[in-house]
Amino acid sequence: MTSKQRVLLLGATGETGGSILAGLLEANQFDVEILVRPSSSEKPAVKQIADRGVNVRVSDLNAPENELTATLSGIDVLISAIGPHDLLQQKTLVRAAKSAGVKRFVPCAFITIAPPKGGMMLRDDKEEIYNEIKRLVVPHTIIDVGFWHQISFPRVPSGRVDYAMMMPKATIHAGGNAPNILTDLRDIGRFVARIIEDDRTLNKYIYTWSDVLSENEIFDIVQQVSGEEIEREQESAQEIEERLAKASSAVAENSTDPMNRIMLYMAQYDYSKYVRGDNQPAYAKFLGYLDARELYPDLKPISFRECFAEVLDGKGRLPYH
Amino acid sequence: MTSKQRVLLLGATGETGGSILAGLLEANQFDVEILVRPSSSEKPAVKQIADRGVNVRVSDLNAPENELTATLSGIDVLISAIGPHDLLQQKTLVRAAKSAGVKRFVPCAFITIAPPKGGMMLRDDKEEIYNEIKRLVVPHTIIDVGFWHQISFPRVPSGRVDYAMMMPKATIHAGGNAPNILTDLRDIGRFVARIIEDDRTLNKYIYTWSDVLSENEIFDIVQQVSGEEIEREQESAQEIEERLAKASSAVAENSTDPMNRIMLYMAQYDYSKYVRGDNQPAYAKFLGYLDARELYPDLKPISFRECFAEVLDGKGRLPYH
Question: Cβ–Cβ of A286/B117 closer than 8 Å?
Answer: no
**Rounded Cα gap, residues B22 and A280, in angstroms:** 40
Strand-pair partners of A56:
A34
- B321 burial (CB, 10 Å; 0-12 / 13-18 / 19+) is exposed
Closest CA to B76 of B5, B11, B143: B5
CB contact under 8 A, A134 and B287: yes
CB contact under 8 A, B118 and A137: no
Beta bridge partners of A31: A6
Gyration radius from chain A CA atoms: 20
**How far is the C-alpha of B273 from the C-alpha of B175, rounded, in Å?**
12
Compare all CA atoms of chain A with the CA of B124 and give the residue at the minimum distance. Answer: A131
* CATH classification for the domain delimited by A5-149+181-210+278-302, as one of 3.40.50.300, 3.50.50.60, 3.40.50.2000, 3.40.50.720: 3.40.50.720
Distance CA B16, CA B188 (A): 7
Report how many Cβ contacts below 8 Å link chain A to chain B.
45
Which chain A residue is nearest to residue B139, measuring alpha carbons?
A: A286
Residues on chain A touching B286 (C-beta within 8 angstroms): 134, 137, 203
Using a CB-CB distance cutoff of 8 angstroms, which residues of chain A are in contact with residue B132?
Answer: 118
Q: Which amino acid is at B152?
A: S
Which residues of chain A lie closer than 8 angstroms to B134, CB-CB? 115-117, 286-287
The three-state secondary structure class of B163 is helix
CB contact under 8 A, A137 and B286: yes
Chain A interface includes B200 (CB < 8 A): no
Residue type for B201, please?
T
CB contact under 8 A, B131 and A137: no
Q: What pLDDT, on a 0 to 100 scale, did the predictor assign at position A3? A: 83
A200 CB within 8 Å of a chain B CB = no
Sequence-ordered strand ranges (E) for chain A:
5-10, 30-36, 55-58, 77-80, 104-106, 141-144, 147-148, 171-173, 180-183, 204-207, 211-213, 233-235, 290-291
DSSP A29-79: -EEEEEEE-GGGTT-HHHHHHHHTT-EEEE--TTS-HHHHHHHTTT-SEEE
pLDDT at site A2? 58
By CB atoms closer than 10 A (0-12, 13-18, 19+), residue A10 is buried
Domain B5-146+183-208+278-301 belongs in CATH node 1.10.3720.10: no
* Residue A80 burial by Cβ neighbours in a 10 Å radius (0-12, 13-18, 19+): buried
Q: How far is A134 from chain B (nearest CA, A)?
A: 6
Q: Does A199 touch chain B (CB under 8 A)?
A: no
Q: Of the candidates A171, A152, A165, A157, which has an alpha carbon nearest to the alpha carbon of residue A279? A: A152
Asked if B137's CB is within 8 angstroms of A117's CB, the reply is no
Is residue A289 less than 8 Å (CB to CB) from chain B? no
CA distance B145 to chain A (A): 19
B116 near A CB under 8 A: yes
Q: Please give the Cα distance from A247 to A264 (Å, whole number).
A: 5
Cα distance between residue A104 and residue A110, in whole Å: 16
Q: How far apart are CA A96 and CA A234, in angstroms?
A: 48
User: Does any CB of chain B come closer than 8 Å to the CB of residue A288?
Assistant: yes
Phi and psi angles of residue B172, each rounded to the nearest 5 degrees, phi first = -100, 130
**How far out from the chain centre does Cα A238 lie?**
27
- Beta carbons of A142 and A131 less than 8 angstroms apart: no
* Side-chain-side CA neighbours of residue A317 (13 Å): 8
Predicted pLDDT at B320: 85
Rounded Cα–Cα distance for residues B108 and B23 (Å): 16
A192 Cβ contact list (under 8 Å, min separation 6): A20, A23, A24, A79, A106, A143
Model confidence pLDDT, tens digit, residues B234-293: 999 999 999 999 999 999 999 889 899 999 999 999 999 999 999 999 999 999 999 999
- pLDDT tens-digit series, residues A191-249: 999 999 999 999 999 999 999 999 999 999 999 999 999 999 999 999 999 999 999 99
Residue B282 near chain A (CB below 8 Å) = no
Each residue's pLDDT tens digit in chain B (321 positions)?
458 999 999 999 999 999 999 999 999 999 999 999 999 999 999 999 999 999 999 999 999 999 999 999 999 999 999 999 899 999 999 999 999 999 999 999 999 999 999 999 999 999 999 999 999 999 999 999 999 999 999 999 999 999 999 989 999 999 999 999 999 999 999 999 999 999 999 999 999 999 999 999 999 999 999 999 999 999 999 999 999 999 999 999 998 898 999 999 999 999 999 999 999 999 999 999 999 999 999 999 999 999 999 999 999 999 988
Using CB atoms, pick whichever of B116, B286, B288 lies closest to residue A131. B116
The C-alpha angle B210, B173, B269, rounded to 5 degrees, equals: 65
Mean pLDDT computed over A46-53: 96
Return the SS3 of B144. strand
For the question of residue B126 being annotated catalytic, the response is: yes
- Amino acid letter, residue A79: I
A50 close to B (CB below 8 A): no
- The span from the CA of A121 to the CA of A156, in Å, is 32
User: What 3-state class would DSSP assign to A250?
Assistant: helix
Q: Identify all chain B residues contacting A135, using CB atoms and an 8 Å cutoff.
A: 115-119
Residue-by-residue DSSP string for B294-316: HH-TT--PPPHHHHHHHHHTT--
Judge whether B53 and B63 are in contact, CB under 8 Å. no
Partner A contacted by B105 (CB < 8 A): no
Q: Of A294, A295, A304, which is closest to residue A213 (Cα–Cα)?
A: A304
Contacts of A309 (CB under 8 A, 6+ apart): A225
The residue from A91, A117, A126, A273 that is catalytic is A126
What DSSP state is assigned to residue B320? Answer: T
Contact A172, A232 (CB under 8 A): yes
Cβ of A286 under 8 Å from any chain B Cβ? yes
CB-CB contact of A10 with A96 (8 Å): no
- In this predicted structure, what is the pLDDT of residue B109? 98
Task: Determine, for residues B203 and A131 on separate chains, whether the beta-carbon distance falls below 8 Å.
Answer: no
Give residue limits of the domains in chain B: 5-146+183-208+278-301, 151-177+214-276
Catalytic site residue from B43, B103, B126, B204:
B126
